A and B are shown apart, each in its own frame.
Chain A
Amino acid sequence: MRASMRVEPSPAMPELRRVIGDGDGHPDGEVEGLDDAGLLALHRSMVLLRTYDERSVTYHRQGRIGTYAIYWGTEAIQAGSVHALDDGDWVFPSYRESAIGLLRGMAPATILAWWRGHPAGWWDPRERHVASICVPIATHVPHAAGLAWGLRLRGERGCAICYFGDGATSEGAFHEGANFAAVMHAPLVLMCNNNQWAISTPLEAQTRAATLADKAAGYGMPGVRVDGGDVLAVYDATRQAVQRARAGEGPTLIEAVTYRMAPHATADDPSLYIDEARVAEERRNECLARYEGYLRRRGLLTDELAEAARADALAAMREGIAAAEALPAPDPALVFDTAYADPPPELMAERAELLRLLAEEGR
């Protein structure tokens, strides 16, 4: 099986869009919208995401964070798409994109606190236009559709992007959200990270559609299929989808085809179901190395720049985990204080009772 074509193509299947060549028979392409500085900024974002992910797996093994959903190998999908947005555009992550806020300047400590189950992992979505991490599958698709619809109603230029996996396309919430987005002409990009596995369930057990992009036709929106390991192809597809959205032409579904190169989460044992040889092959062709090869062939990336990007990201993570671990134990009053703007009086009575008991216990 060729690594560049991640699924067996059927006659109806559109070709995967690729920009990055292989330094051999397949030539490198170019994309509009990214100058040299932009290309290098994109690289730094990928390195930051990669470093966050790798360090998080280590932190989990060290007992410093809880269960963690690994995203190794999908940095191209996340960074490529975010770089095609303006900072005012809205991002709706699933748990697979838990650290995507880093690309909007969110502190690693905030996201690490989220994975540590600490309330400091809460954030105000309005600060960076990054919605809260969605834990249930696909239920944030209608949120993104509604927000994008709201932007249109307000006459604002912004748009939204929503990330979800291949398994999410089986959920009713995906269908309802995509359909609403289309009906309401919502300026929305639906970004499907098709890593071909929903925990242990392979894509062929998820759908009989030839491609997930084909589902777009059912909503009357374009469906685009890109190589999810090609950050420039993801960037370019997102950029075009964003242009459509801003022009009032409604949503676009992008299927970024990749392969899950790591366990679903730190609690998962993929040896029970996955083809380890395939995983090893995919990891040899992973997105960051491919992009670094591209940048080096263009003479943009030097060893010094690559090392600096990695060193900066590692420093940010060291600082982040130290800050997360230095957080004081949260006030138990927070159990009560954030669910309602105007809490029911009986809840406040329970709050007072618990705090009194805790004080008596000397906690």
Chain B
Amino acid sequence: MKTLVEAVNDGLHTEMKRDASVMVMGEDVGTLGGVFRATAGLRERFGSDRCVDTPLAEAGILGTAVGLAMAGFRPVCEMQYDAFSYPCLDQLICHVGRYRWRTGGAMEFPITVRMPYGGRVRAPELHDDSPEAYYVHTPGIKVAIPSTPADAKGLIAAAIRDADPVVVLEPKLIYRTARGEVPEGEHVVPLGKARVARSGSDVTLVAYGAMVAVAEAAAERADASVEVLDLRSLKPLDEGALLESVGKTGRAVVVAEAPRVAGFAAEVAAVLAEKAILDLRAPIVRVTGYDVPYPYWTIEDAYLPSPGRVLAAIGKVMAF
């Protein structure tokens, strides 16, 4: 049994052992092993040239990673927190997602960006964001979000091995509370494959990251038979799994903790509206954060999707 953050650590160890071109870089990832200890032990095992404590500069981390990729490395960049990753968006949008295209597809940029994300950790502002929409919206970038320890290890491995840049968002709320069996040795969860976390026949809850557990908690309490689909990859999106589940249940509730407007839940709803309209027996409902700055922690629980809010949405689609 491993926690989710231990599984991330396991994945990094395994991939660095497997491929000498993999290097981990970021703020405090070396001697300290990361503020969440996701990179603990890497420096001792692989040395300070492969587990690099960088200057405090997120755009510099991702920008130098572009150059390191050009020199033949597979950089794995840690952004210390979700909202501290915003300075790196300049590099991500202007270069990381474009450079392969700019070379006519000749050059690969196998860069992984990983970061703890999400709320409910009782932290000051800008330690709680769900920035996935910025990343998903950037062409050339893939995005994965695990919700279990095994998937955390497997998606990290898939991201590192992928020829394209991949952002892995790790739900920090469940870093130490999500525990589970994690395969020993090499373990890859392919990008673009969703997971049915719970089977049901009346309504599909679509979720990812820490919201999978919220969806599961709501499913436990619902009167209806609820299926929970853990997307695991936002891009590529497993549209087949999404359409199959909603084709079966005819109802969909999308749960995400990011603000609602133009968030990833809207993309899921749009896909269902375009491709599953005849399967739907009720409008697609979103349960998300609100279109406000992430609140102070004494009121953050009111902002985040809760089992109660998800249950209300289930009631709505069942009653339609």
Interface residues of A (CB under 8 A from B): 90, 119, 122-126, 131-132, 136, 139-151, 153-154, 160, 172-173, 176-177, 179-180, 183-184, 337-342, 344-346
Known: A149-B71, A338-B100, A346-B236. 12 other contacts (CB 8 A): A122-B104, A142-B59, A143-B63, A143-B95, A148-B67, A151-B71, A160-B67, A176-B55, A177-B60, A338-B105, A341-B100, A344-B192
Residue B57 is within 8 A (CB to CB) of chain A in the complex: yes
**Is B217 interfacial (CB 8 A cutoff)?**
no
* Residues of B close to A149: CB separation below 8 A: 64, 67-68, 71
Take A150-B67, A150-B72 as given contacts and tell me if A176 and B104 are in contact as well, using a CB distance cutoff of 8 Å: no
Q: A150-B71, A154-B71 are in contact. Are A124 and B63 (CB under 8 A)?
A: no
Which residues B61-103 have CB closer than 8 A to chain A? 62-73, 87, 90-91, 94-95, 97-103
Q: Name the residue among B65, B99, B103 with the largest chain A CB count within 10 angstroms.
A: B103
Q: A131-B70, A146-B71, A154-B72 in contact; A141/B104 too (CB < 8 A)?
A: no
Query: B71 touching A147 by the CB < 8 A rule?
Result: yes
Q: Does B301 contact A (CB under 8 A)?
A: no
The answer to whether B103 touches A124 (Cβ under 8 A) is yes
Measured CA separation A344–B103 after assembly (Å): 19
The 0/1 profile, CB within 8 Å of A marked 1, for residues 244-256 of chain B is: 0000000000000
CA distance A180 to B25 in the complex (A): 12
* B107 and A126 contact, CB distance less than 8 A: yes
Choice from B55, B66, B68, B237 contacting A344 with Cβ under 8 Å: B237
Closest to A345 in B: B236
Kindly provide the distance from the CB of A136 to the nearest chain B CB, expressed in whole angstroms.
Answer: 5
Closest beta carbon of chain B to A339's beta carbon, Å: 4
A122 vs B60: C-alpha distance when bound (angstroms): 25
Tally of B interface residues using CB under 8 Å: 46
Given the known inter-chain contacts A179-B60, A346-B237, please indicate yes or no for A146 contacting B49, CB distance below 8 A. no
Q: Is B319 interfacial (CB-CB < 8 Å)?
A: no
A334, B69: Cα distance in complex, Å: 23
- A149 to B49 Cα, complex, angstroms: 10
Which A residues lie within 8 Å of B55 (CB)?
176, 179-180, 183
Which A-chain residue is minimally distant from B236 (CB atoms)? A344
Q: Could you tell me if A339 and B140 are in contact, using CB atoms closer than 8 angstroms?
A: yes
Q: Which residue of A lies closest to B165 (CB)?
A: A340
User: Is A122 touching B67 in the complex (CB atoms < 8 A)?
Assistant: no
- Whose C-beta in chain A lies nearest to the C-beta of B57? A176
CA distance A327 to B99 in the complex (A): 23
List residues of chain B with CB under 8 Å of any chain A CB: 49, 54-55, 57, 59-60, 62-73, 87, 90-91, 94-95, 97-108, 139-140, 142, 162-164, 192, 235-237, 239
B73, closest chain A residue (CB): A150
User: How many residue pairs at the A-B interface have CB separations less than 8 Å?
Assistant: 146
Contact check, B66 vs A143: say whether CB atoms are below 8 A apart: yes
A100 to B251, CA, bound (A): 58
Closest residue on chain B to residue A146 by CB atoms: B67
B68 adjacent to A139 (CB under 8 Å): no
Q: Are B63 and A122 in contact (CB under 8 A)?
A: no
Flag if A147 contacts B70 (CB, 8 Å).
Answer: yes
| A-chain residues with CB within 8 Å of residue B163 when the two chains form the complex | 341-342
In the assembled complex, the Cα of A67 lies from the Cα of B57 at a distance in Å of 34
A139, A151, A172, A179 interface centre (most CB from chain B within 10 Å):
A139
A172 to B69, CA, bound (A): 21
The answer to whether A339 touches B59, judged by C-beta atoms less than 8 angstroms apart, is no
Q: Determine the residue in chain A with the shortest Cβ distance to B23.
A: A153
Q: Which of A123, A148, A160, A340 contacts B103 (CB 8 A)?
A: A123
A124 contact set on B, CB distance < 8 A: 103-104, 106-107
B103→A176 contact, CB < 8 A: no
Given A142-B60, A143-B95, A153:B49 Cβ within 8 A = yes
Question: Which of B68, B69, B108 is the most central at the interface, judged by chain A CB atoms within 10 Å of its CB?
Answer: B68
Q: Is the CB of A142 within 8 A of B104?
A: no
Q: Are the CB atoms of B67 and A147 closer together than 8 Å?
A: yes
Contacts of A143 on B, CB cut-off 8 Å?
A: 63-64, 66-67, 70, 95
List 22 A–B pairs whose Cβ atoms lie within 8 Å, in order of A's numbering.
A122-B102, A122-B104, A124-B103, A126-B106, A131-B70, A132-B102, A136-B90, A139-B94, A145-B63, A146-B66, A146-B67, A153-B73, A177-B64, A179-B57, A180-B54, A183-B54, A184-B64, A338-B103, A341-B163, A344-B142, A344-B237, A346-B239
Please name all residues of chain B whose beta carbon is closer than 8 Å to the beta carbon of A146 when the two chains form the complex: 63-71
The CA-CA distance from A149 to B69 in the complex, in Å, is: 11
Distance, CA A344 to CA B100, complexed state (A): 15
Q: Which partner residue on chain B sits nearest A343 by CB separation?
A: B236
Complex Cα–Cα for A139 and B92 (A): 11
Question: In the complex, which of the residues B64, B90, B103, B142 contacts A125, with contact meaning CB atoms closer than 8 Å?
Answer: B103
Q: Out of A119, A125, A139, A180, name the residue touching B95 (CB < 8 Å).
A: A139
- What separation, in Å, do the CA atoms of A149 and B239 have in the docked complex? 41
Q: A144 and B67 in contact (CB under 8 A), knowing A139-B94, A180-B60, A340-B140?
A: yes
